[in-house]
């Protein structure tokens, strides 16, 4: 069992940057692969990025490649999503998630945060 709390969302102009943080409870953080997902109004949840438990491997949804970077600090039980060159279509609620699988698919995440709103304006 673990708890995830996202922070860092807000309102930003197109072309700007935000860094999201996800703080996890417990001492087992390093045993989980982590992911970021997002959900825009009226849309299904979408995979954004993932990182393995040791940070060796990352994956990104195609539209965010080159703009977003996922990272983790296991000593701080925290995963980050650095978002640069933000676009209007990045507007969504962003969720942090944890999975016991080393290479989880989007349906293999066991724990979820409550989400943080990211709004990109023109």
68-102: per-residue pLDDT in tens?
Answer: 999 999 999 999 999 999 999 999 999 999 999 98
Q: Does residue 63 register a pLDDT over 90? A: yes
> Quick one: how far is CA 105 from the chain centroid?
14
Write the pLDDT tens digit of every residue in 12-26: 999 999 999 999 997
Task: Record the tokens describing residue 109, joined without a space.
Answer: 């995440």
Burial of 114 (0-12, 13-18, 19+ CB in 10 A): exposed
Supply the pLDDT for residue 13. Answer: 98
Q: Measured between alpha carbons, how far is 42 from 81 in angstroms, rounded to an integer?
A: 23
Supply the pLDDT for residue 1. Answer: 78
What mean pLDDT is predicted for residues 1-7?
A: 93
Task: Record the tokens describing residue 33, joined without a space.
Answer: 């692969």
């Amino acid at each position: 069992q673990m708890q995830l709390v996202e922070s860092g969302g807000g309102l930003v102009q197109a072309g700007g940057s935000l860094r999201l943080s996800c703080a996890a409870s417990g001492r087992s953080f390093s045993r989980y692969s982590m992911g970021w997902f997002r959900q825009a109004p009226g849309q299904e949840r979408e995979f954004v990025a993932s990182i393995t438990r040791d940070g060796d491997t990352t994956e990104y949804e195609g539209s965010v490649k080159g703009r977003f970077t996922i990272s983790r600090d296991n000593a701080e039980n925290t995963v980050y999503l650095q978002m640069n060159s933000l676009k209007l279509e990045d507007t969504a609620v962003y969720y942090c998630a944890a999975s016991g699988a080393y290479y989880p698919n989007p349906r293999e995440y066991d724990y979820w945060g409550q989400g943080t709103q990211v709004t990109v304006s023109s």
